[in-house]
Amino acid sequence: MNPKFGYPATADDYREKARARLPGFLFDYLEGGATDEQTLRANESDWANILLRQRVLVDVDEVDTATTLVGQSCSMPVVLAPLGLAGMMARRGEVQAVRAANASGIPFTLSTVGICPVEEVQAAATEAAWFQLYMIRDRARIEALLKKAWSAGCRTLVFTVDLPLPGMRHRDFRNGLASPGPRSKLLKIQQLLARPGWIWHVALRGGPLSFGNLSDALPDASNLDAFKEWIDTQFDPTVTWADIEWIRSHWQGKLLIKGILDVEDARQAVQLGADAIVVSNHGGRQLDGVASGAGKLPEIVAAVGSQIDILVDGGVRSGVDIFRALALGAQGVMVGRPWAWALAGAGEAGLTRLLTSWQQELRLAMTLTGVTRIADIGNDQLDRPHKPKYPKAGEQQ
């Protein structure tokens, strides 16, 4: 169904609505991946290769999708992932998103490079948002951000570790977002003029479109080109595991390490006292040709699943995909693009409807595989009878 002529039902429906509303460079920023986008495509397609084991005549009268993620009670095992520039996808986008997440009973994560500052987001929230951090060269700036987030009420920190340098995203170069100069400005102006609704609702009525959490560090926080120049010099390729210890010593709350794709890195995160890890390739936006989250999840669960909570992201597009991730051993999933598509395409109400739909899909998957609790979802619900079982966090090996 073309979502322009009916009610959007799926993540893809909202994606098309977002395409129709956003300036081209913003849609491509949200949509694109690194270089040839092989990993971007694999993130989504690899979930489809995981078959579920349908069971019948099981008492599934009371199916419960509720769970606990990193100590927080949730209506379902989903977290809205951090997303830079989210406040440009809809008017004060992070504020709308945190309200939708809270209404749906799940956590929202605010990006360091979000548009709305953490104080504004927390003021709109009924449940404290999680805060995402990049390690940048200016350690005083890091300390200031951590204090800012803590003072605002954040108690869960998501530390993204797979960005020592920005990935090469050819879409951003082609449409002028990542290429400086007058031609780039002209390209962006042309794309903006093609979306007068966005100019009115987001740019004019949703301002200021500045990077709220970094506004005091940037001379021109509302200038995308100036911001890119600043941030490209701030990503720190010298970061090592010793810096994780430094972060741990400066953060009193829960700590998630996001960007783990290797068993040895997962073990290091456990040793350094992380509360959880996120198996992630940054949505296919960093290094093309690496494995998908679905592809790496089983071996990482097998290695450290009894010692730490594990979330996964990348390509999750439905409640069935959430179920697949749990069956492979994750405690929950993070989702990025789908929540931004829904927000851009249909606002806070659209995001709430998408999350409600996913919860219904998850409940149906549980019902037809014969489980009634999130904790009961595991390898037995996969149509892979010879695959070895592995423990979840807190279980004995």
d(CA 12, CA 208): 30
**Residue 133 bridge partners (DSSP):** 159
Q: Do the beta carbons of residue 39 and residue 288 sit within 8 Å? A: yes
Give the HSE-up count for residue 210: Cα atoms under 13 Å, Cβ half-sphere.
13
Q: Do the beta carbons of residue 3 and residue 16 sit within 8 Å? A: yes
d(CA 338, CA 346): 12
Report CA dihedral (294, 46, 290, 39) to the nearest 10 degrees: -130
Tokens of 322: 């959430």
Q: Which amino acid is located at 110 in the chain?
A: L
d(CA 82, CA 169): 18
d(CA 255, CA 252): 9
Tokens of 190: 């042309």
Q: 221 by DSSP, 3-state: which?
A: coil
d(CA 334, CA 260): 13
Q: Do the beta carbons of residue 277 and residue 311 sit within 8 Å? A: yes
Task: State the catalytic residues.
Answer: 282
Strands 78-80 and 332-335, by their bridges, are parallel
Q: Do the beta carbons of residue 66 and residue 344 sit within 8 Å? A: no
